[in-house]
A and B are shown apart, each in its own frame.
Chain A
Amino acid sequence: DGGITQSPKYLFRKEGQNVTLSCEQNLNHDAMYWYRQDPGQGLRLIYYSQIVNDFQKGDIAEGYSVSREKKESFPLTVTSAQKNPTAFYLCASSLWEPGVEADTQYFGPGTRLTVL
């Protein structure tokens, strides 16, 4: 089945530790995205990547880092510099056709990160 997988589902971290969230897709999509979701705030874009080996900051990139070494994978690292990392993190992917209509983003099941 085609889709997006995120692991782990739940993650606990001590303050001061970096942690990496996994996101893999087998939809052959060019673009991938990371969002953070907090109650009452909707989804906020952290980073996005339209092509392998390239990525751009979103609206709340501080304290986060990403890599895009393979088309299928877009891991997110939450660093110790992120002041309030406890949140629900969602990965998404889409086709990428510059100048054409906005393509539908398909979402993974999410990872809930809790900092202890």
Chain B
Amino acid sequence: AQSVTQLGSHVSVSEGALVLLRCNYSSSVPPYLFWYVQYPNQGLQLLLKYTSAATLVKGINGFEAEFKKSETSFHLTKPSAHMRDAAEYFCAAGGATNKLIFGTGTLLAVQP
């Protein structure tokens, strides 16, 4: 069965520092991969989506993610954190059935 693992339920960085949020998937075939962001008491907003067209995917708000098949990973990065990036981030994997499997989320705190 497909699964998604997000390492680190809480990550704290200083403003201006690199953001790295980890996501690993378990699947017999490379799935379609997504990163979503959720601000408190709101729905999820799509950051970026991997569909095999390119291994490095650029998203909104300066985020990007790199698909590495050999490591079954899809880590999310941003070169310089901003206070407004503080939120919860979810990695998800899906296939042709359109059902998504979500990781348990990583809460990002940004310190001034």
Contacts and interface: CB of A to CB of B under 8 A. Distances in A.
Interface residues of B, number: 25
Contacts of B44: 43, 90, 92, 107
Nearest to A102: B94
B51 A101 contact: yes
Contacts of A40: 9, 104-105
A108 B43 contact: yes
Contact of A112 (B32, B41, B95): B41
A116 to B, nearest CB: 19
Contacts of B34: 104
Given A90-B44, A107-B44, A112-B41, A102 B96 contact: yes
Contacts of A17: none
B43 A102 contact: no
A106 B46 contact: yes
Contacts of A96: 98
Q: Which one of A45, A94, A102 has the highest number of Cβ atoms from chain B below 10 Å of its Cβ?
A: A102
Contacts of A31: 98
A50 interface: yes
A43 B102 CA distance: 6
Given A50-B98, A100-B96, A110 B41 contact: yes
B32 A102 contact: yes
B82 to A, nearest CB: 23
B96 A98 contact: yes
B70 to A, nearest CB: 22
Contact of A104 (B43, B49, B104): B49
A31 B100 CA distance: 13
Interface of A: 4, 6, 31, 40-45, 48, 50, 58, 88, 90, 92, 94, 96, 98-110, 112
